[in-house]
Amino acid sequence: MTLSTVSVSTSADSASAAPEGGAVDGLPRIEDPTAVGAVDARAMSKVLFVRLRALEEGTHEYQYVRNTLVELNLPLVRYVAGRFRSRSETTEEMVQTGTIGLIKAIDRFDPARGVEFPTFAIPTISGEIKRFFRDTSWSVHVPRRLQELRLELARAREAFTTEHDREPGPAELAERLGVSVEEVDEGLIASAAYSTVSLDAPAPDDEGSTPALAARAVFVEPGYGMTENLVALKPLIAALGPRDREILSLRFGEELTQSEIGERLGISQMHVSRLISRTVATLRAQLLAD
């Protein structure tokens, strides 16, 4: 199809299609935008963008021009999607997502700036597809072989369920795909890495309330609390005097008794006890205050 084959509506046609408030002349009527060549599509788009900016948003003519621009420029979406063929997502998924980027580019494009629309649109389309990958990609890196196996398992499970009206077992999936049961088990485990759920997400319990998943944890590592305390104590201990730091090191680092510390420092055991009690009380008060 060339520009000569595209019909242009008359003033009467435009008036009948336009809402109250005035007719729009010269709207091109393209019977099949998908049959328009790249050169003609670019030329038509330039005319349509100028017309789009002159129309009132929400009118019949505005929607027609906008939709026609989308159809004329869909090859841009397919071109960008083709750059990501190595991804596990289907081309259809990428085209659908990229079309959203195309629509955003059409709404934002200003022909008065003198920039070609493909130059403006391709980064927007590509960004939308990359955002889709970010939102739907694997949460944990797994080998490519297992990513592909996950897709094969999903298709095999769906087909089996349709045929037998029940979920298949690992052995049945293995037989259907011609792989070992061990490979199926590995693929099913890998599938769990495709998406994760935040520990802050609600998890309904037996009583119908929705506590966070973190509340369901059956084990809390005690070392976490100790590590936090040590990190918090480090600057407080560093602020102590040299003798207090030495006594703490001897008592809790070398694990000497109070008497042994007294002998090493030349002071009484009672004095060592008072110094340790005072220092520990100061550290505790500072730690709780923080």
82 residue type, one letter: G
What region does 22 belong to: left with phi over 0, alpha with psi -120 to 50, or beta? left
Q: How confident is the model at residue 89 (pLDDT cuts 50, 70, 90)?
A: low
Q: How confident is the model at residue 193 (pLDDT cuts 50, 70, 90)?
A: low
Mean pLDDT value across residues 52-59: 88
Q: How confident is the model at residue 230 (pLDDT cuts 50, 70, 90)?
A: confident
**This prediction's pTM:** 0.41
Q: How confident is the model at residue 137 (pLDDT cuts 50, 70, 90)?
A: low
Mean pLDDT value across residues 257-277: 92
**Tokens representing residue 27 in the block:** 């709207």
pLDDT, residue 140, reads 57
Q: Is the pLDDT of residue 279 over 70?
A: yes
pLDDT, residue 17, reads 37
Q: Is the pLDDT of residue 5 over 60?
A: no
Residues 160, 152: Cα–Cα separation, whole Å: 12
Mean pLDDT value across residues 80-97: 79
DSSP lists the bridge partners of residue 28 as 8
Mean pLDDT value across residues 220-244: 82
pLDDT, residue 270, reads 93
Q: How confident is the model at residue 21 (pLDDT cuts 50, 70, 90)?
A: very low
Q: How confident is the model at residue 106 (pLDDT cuts 50, 70, 90)?
A: very high
What's the pLDDT tens digit per position in 170-180? Answer: 899 999 899 89
Residues 93, 137: Cα–Cα separation, whole Å: 13
Mean pLDDT value across residues 71-86: 87
**DSSP for the chain, written as a single string:** --GGGSEE--HHHHHHHS-TT------EE-S-GGGS-HHHHHHHHHHHHHHHHHSPTTSHHHHHHHHHHHHHTHHHHHHHHHTTTTSSS-HHHHHHHHHHHHHHHHHH--GGG---HHHHHHHHHHHHHHHHHHHHS-SS---HHHHHHHHHHHHHHHHHHHHHSSPPPHHHHHHHHTS-HHHHHHHHHHHTTS----TTSB---TTS---BGGGG-S---HHHHHHHHHHHHHHHHHTS-HHHHHHHIIIIIS---HHHHHHHHTS-HHHHHHHHHHHHHHHHHHHHH-
Mean pLDDT value across residues 13-39: 54
Residues 69, 174: Cα–Cα separation, whole Å: 48
**Cα distances (Å, whole numbers) of residue 126 to 60, 87, 89:** 30, 14, 15
